[in-house]
A and B are shown apart, each in its own frame.
Chain A
Amino acid sequence: MRPENYEAQRQPPSNEFELNFGPNHPGIEGNYALKVKLHGDVVLEAQADGGYLHRGFEKLMEQRLWIQNIALVPRICVPDPSPMELCYSMAVEQLCGLHVPQRANWIRVMQLELSRIAAHLFTFGGHAATTGMYSTMYWGVADRDLVLDLFEEFTGGRVYSIYNIPGGVRRELPSGFLQRVSETLDYIESRLPDYDNLFFKNQVFVKRAKDVGVMTQEQALAWGVTGPNLRATGLAFDVRRDDPYLIYDQLEFEIPTEESGDAWARTLVRRHELMESIRIVRQVVEALPDIHGPIRAPIPNPLAWNVPAGETYTRVESSKGELCYYVVSDGGPKPYRVHVRGPSSMHAVQVLEKLSVGSRIEDIAQTMFSLDACPPEVDR
């Protein structure tokens, strides 16, 4: 466009304008975008725009053997991959009627809760960064790395552990591993007062997060909100306790709740959950030496494994909320259909769109990070 040819277009006077918020923006979690209509700094309308991370997992899974999909599923949610493996494995176990040994169940709980700790630390880091508190971000990522070190030691993978398989877990724990888990937990717990002072009690954060993205319990239930976001509105619901799987009904833990339903409450619920997860892992560390036996049930030749025809719906509590797999088998060597219901498919789309309206543009990041929305789960 040459300047001499340029002619300003006359538009009717308006105070409204549109803005593409994302897909590359520090206030957006992952590759995701919001198309917002603004009046000044106030959001009039928000429209979620996904698909930047679509990898077609559900189609790919129909084209791969039951056992091959184990390497595929953790990639659906990057920050918290372990529940993905477990939920898929549980579905295959239910279809085959496999009985998982007790020791494997206890090891699985340890893996899940360590993954939850890592995911929450990561979220705190990202959330703090949206308010300009980069120290918390560095701390969160560094402390998460200690959990990843544990993962590397007992599963072989830092992020995608590919450790759960239908029937149990892949490897026995290395010697002296439980001691190192205890040490890491002690260290993370000792850090929490520092996190409180630096982040959770920090007025920079409290003033930014209070009364932002508020939803009532009625709204949360109507919008399909689950997990910590639902608990932040005062409803003590947790799949681990109310629809128990593995050995969660044998463990002692509280379900923390908050009443106000805003960004601050949602973050605080996660802060309390971190402590509960540490408590659960400690119970596992204490009990595991006395639980002997195999770590997986015998399975047929995995490369020629025809899973009996049937369908099942499995549910677990991931760090973001209710994660479900609907798996259908037609009796063949590959799944006939796998549907992944990630918790963020509600939080990142409808809930984020609704909560953004009426807020200021700088609060969108607060809302999104406090919802802990994970776009890879939406796109799949």
Chain B
Amino acid sequence: MSKEITHWLDDLLAEIEGIVVRRKSSRRVRVDVPADALPALLELLQGRAGYIHLSAISCVDWIKEDEFELVYHVWSYESHSLVSAHIRIAREPGVYLSVYDLYQPAAFFERDIHEMYGIHFEGSPNMEKFILTEWDGPPPMRKEFDSEAYINEHLSWQNYNPEWLQELVAEGGGVIIPPEEQRFSQKKK
């Protein structure tokens, strides 16, 4: 990305209120905006700066702060740079706007985030289940969902202890290493 484009992008981004721009490397720009300003930012990036490719939308669950972070990664085929726009929304009720009318690939990512985190995107074309079709539990990628606890509660463990394994253990051989002999188990900090 040449210097001219860099300055031009900075000027353009300055048009959005409350924006924080951080240049992470020559091709990566991190932008933090208030959630309300994101559609305007993306419209500006797409319409006037050539960021026409939505590479991904990532969701991060910051449970301690009671917030979801949504990250929109957009790429420009002209200036060969990637802008990551970060916003934060409240965990409850977990509703945000769809950007499908700007970027069609958003449909898949929004559907995926809805399924995994339970965030509803208003205006997204399809919010039906895709991967977890037969799942009726809570959204599994949320931090409060403990997959091991869920398994212990809803499924029973199979007791796999065949005779040949018992014989092996009785002989003191096989693949089982006693805890005191395990290489890293006794390391203390």
Are A304 and B104 in contact, with the CB atoms below 8 A?
Answer: no
Contact with A along B165-183 (1 / 0, CB 8 A): 0000000000000000000
The secondary structure that dominates the B interface is mixed
- Bound: A186/B167 CA distance, A: 53
CA distance A345 to B110 in the complex (A): 12
> In the complex the two chains form, is A350's CB within 8 Å of B104's CB?
yes
Say whether B55 faces chain A, with CB atoms less than 8 Å apart: yes
Is A313 close to B, CB under 8 A?
Answer: yes
Contacts of B132 in A (CB 8 A): 51, 54
The answer, among A58, A222, A315, A341, for a CB contact under 8 Å with B104, is A222
Contact (Cβ within 8 A) A51 B140: no
Q: B159 within 8 Å of A by Cβ?
A: no
Smallest CB separation, B137 vs chain A (Å):
12
Q: Is B82 an interface residue (CB 8 A)?
A: yes
B60 touches A315 (CB 8 A): no
Q: For the complex, would chain A's binding face be called helix, strand, loop or mixed by DSSP majority? A: mixed
A221 to B53, Cβ gap below 8 A? yes
Q: Could you say which residues of chain A place their CB within 8 Å of the CB of B27?
A: 243
Q: Cβ of A313: which chain B residues have Cβ within 8 Å of it?
A: 28, 55, 58, 71, 73, 82, 84
In-complex Cβ contact of A341 among B56, B80, B116, B130 (8 A): B56
Closest A residue by C-beta to B111: A349
Of the stretches A68-76, A111-119, A271-279, A320-328, the one at the interface is A320-328
Q: For the complex, is A337 an interface residue (Cβ under 8 Å from B)?
A: yes
- Cβ of B154 < 8 Å from any Cβ of A? no
A49, A326, A337: the one within 8 Å of B73 (CB): A326
Residues of A with C-beta under 8 A to B61: 337
A residues near B, CB below 8 A?
48-51, 54, 56, 58-59, 63, 221-224, 226, 235, 237, 242-243, 303-304, 311, 313, 315, 322, 324, 326, 328, 336-337, 339, 341, 345-346, 349-350, 378-379
Q: A313-B58, A326-B73, A341-B56 are in contact. List 17 more A-B contacts (CB 8 A).
A: A48-B130, A50-B131, A51-B132, A59-B140, A63-B147, A221-B52, A221-B77, A313-B71, A313-B73, A324-B55, A326-B56, A328-B60, A337-B60, A345-B109, A345-B112, A349-B108, A350-B105
Closest 8 CB pairs of A and B: A224-B105, A51-B131, A341-B56, A339-B58, A326-B58, A337-B60, A54-B131, A242-B80
